[in-house]
Amino acid sequence: MNRNYRPPEPAGWKAATVGEIFRVVGGGTPSTSEPRFWQGPTPWVTSADIEDGRIFPKRAVSPEAIDRSATNLVPAGSVVVVTRVGLGKVGIAESDLCFSQDCQGLLCDSAYLEPRFVLYQMSRAVSGFVAIARGTTINGVTKEQLRDTPFVLAPRNEQTRIVEAIESYSTRLDGAVATLERVKANLKRYRASVLKAAVEGRLVPTEAELARKEGREYEPASVLLDRVLRERRSRWEEAELARLAAKGREPKVDRWEEKYAGPAGPDTSQLPELPQGWCWVTLPQVGELDRGTSKHRPRNDARLLGGPYPFIQTGEVRQADGHIENYETTYSEFGLHQSRLWPAGTLCITIAANIAETGILKFDACFPDSVVGFSCPERPILVRFVEFFLRTARERLHRYAPATAQKNINLKTLSSLAVPMPPEAEQARIVAEIDRLFSVVRTTGAVASDNVARCRRLHQSILNWAFEGKLVDQSPSDEPASVLLDRIKSERGKSMGVNQKTPRERTNRKTT
């Protein structure tokens, strides 16, 4: 801290340092091996007990603990500054208390200093502590650095006016922030309600309703499912015939077709009734469902990485808002050889760490076996509908996860999951409506977040104006701060409510 620096002085103010104005006292921790030390009436606090300018004591110590340790008893109204763990926190003591070695106390005589004026100015000042903090294992600032911190002293009456103005503005800003945070929470709930309505057939008119209204036929989802299953069997037959031909073998009449085992449908015995035209399906019935692959060990082998193939992990799926657009790691040719490249449009589903987080690939990518892929290139709208449904089913899938150190579900769980499927035209309308509503939600949420940030910047601006003498009017009848500083200095020899122990006294008392 620059000892020679003095901030600008508003009219009637006086620039000084913390050490010139306050008596700065340190803290300590009584011996934890002495239970009687921790059975007393005096609050003892650490940095963890200081939040938003207030102090919330959780432990108390005895007079003997204070006498036989490095901690110090300071009076109510003192400002406690955290200088080590939790660096930069500041709080006002609402009662006499003592504190740990991570804190320093600034003793304030309320006749000369409004404690909240000190609190707000120190809250602003400590923002620079991080830049000057030093330490081997724990960063901190020294008592001398704290004493050298600039402090601008205002006339006593003006201190009160400044505090009243800060708190008046802060109350209104806090109210605005609370309202904006409620808006953001409501938007989150609204998103969930949109998804719930979508997968229950209540978001848009169903295809059956429109067909009746328009006097036309429509294709139910059951017909779509039959077509998908026929397509799947046809692809299997083509592949099987090609396999036999490659071996020079002729298929036996009817016998080879009996080998086909189609994907199992869902158990619908306990499922609710769906809207007209919908049907229940499993993911293997309508697309390919399989785990990602990363066979090589160790997984951080340098040979795997650094190539042109994106490698997606669970964290990137978790951060996706429907679509995975970014990646941090890539696979080399060696990495690709022991993995698999899934096509863009694949739905990624996490089955470890973060259960059932989802995102659709915007590019071809590999992923490990902690992610399951669902691919249906012929029907990208169905993949998107499934992604929306899985968001609503996430809590249910959590219940399938075993109670182990790291919860996970498996491919079997996802393979047997019953998924509601609307008619194809209805899927498109549902997805389009979700996209439209979510776009409005994102825009509104971004505006709310920007305004929260603006309120917080404004709060900092209010503190800046306050301590530049611009927040309230100066009064010519106020006693100048230079006179107040002289009076403070003349009182420095007095105890001001604390009998701080010298290092020699602390050593003697610990050994007696």
Measured between alpha carbons, how far is 441 from 445 in angstroms, rounded to an integer?
Answer: 6
Sorted by sequence, the CB contacts under 8 Å of residue 230 that are 6+ apart come out as none
- Do 265 and 401 have their domain in common? yes
End-to-end CA distance of the chain: 39
Give me the number of domains the chain comprises: 2
Q: Does one domain contain both 430 and 503?
A: no
Domain end point (choices 390, 420, 442):
442
- 458 located within any domain: no
Q: Based on C-alpha coordinates, what's the Rg of the chain?
A: 34
Q: Is residue 1 part of a domain?
A: no
What CA–CA distance (Å, rounded) separates 234 from 232?
A: 5
Task: Answer yes or no: are the C-beta atoms of 30 and 44 closer than 8 Å.
Answer: yes
Q: For 23-59, what is each residue's pLDDT tens digit?
A: 999 999 999 999 999 999 999 999 999 999 999 999 9
Residue type, 171: T
Lowest mean pLDDT among 1-15, 181-195, 468-482: 1-15
Is residue 293 located within the same domain as residue 405? yes
Residue 6 belongs to a domain: no
The tens digit of pLDDT for each residue in 138-196 reads 678 889 999 999 999 999 999 999 999 999 999 999 999 999 999 999 999 999 999 99
Amino acid 137: pLDDT: 55
Look at residues 384, 418, 442 and tell me which one is the last residue of a structural domain: 442
Specify the pLDDT at position 226: 95
Q: Residues 425, 305: one domain?
A: yes
In a domain, 160, yes or no: no
For residue 502, pLDDT over 50 is answered with no
Confirm whether 110 is domain-assigned. yes
Of the candidates 281, 367, 383, the one whose C-alpha atom is nearest the C-alpha of residue 329 is 367
Query: Which is nearest to 347 in space by CA: 333, 332, 362?
Result: 362
Note whether 255 and 320 are same-domain residues: yes
| Residue 468 within a domain | no
Task: Give the rounded percent of residues in the chain with a pLDDT score beyond 90.
Answer: 75
Residue 97: is it exposed, middle or buried by C-beta count within 10 angstroms (0-12/13-18/19+)?
buried
Mean pLDDT of 282-290: 96
Using the predicted structure, report yes or no on whether residue 112 has a pLDDT greater than 70: yes
For residue 495, give its domain range: 14-155+475-511
30 and 139: one domain? yes
Same domain, 230 and 308: yes
For residue 131, what is the domain's CATH number? Answer: 3.90.220.20
pLDDT value at 411 more than 80: yes
Edge to edge, the sheet with strand 90-92 lists 23-26, 103-107, 79-82, 90-92, 53-55, 50-51
298 & 402 share domain: yes
My answer on whether 123 and 236 are in the same domain is: no
Write down which residue in 421, 442, 463 finishes a domain: 442
184 is a domain residue: no
One domain for residues 23 and 133: yes
- Is 5 a residue whose pLDDT tops 60? no
Distance CA 5, CA 379 (A): 68
CA–CA separation, 117 and 164 (whole Å): 10
- Based on the fold, state whether residues 118 and 19 are members of the same structural domain: yes
- Alpha-carbon span 220 to 11, nearest angstrom: 81
- Give the three-state DSSP class for 347: strand
Considering the domain architecture, whether residues 486 and 436 belong to the same structural domain is answered as no
Task: Copy the structure tokens of residue 11.
Answer: 């009219």
Is 375 domain-assigned? Answer: yes
Mean pLDDT across the chain, nearest whole number? 90
Read off the DSSP letter of residue 168.
H
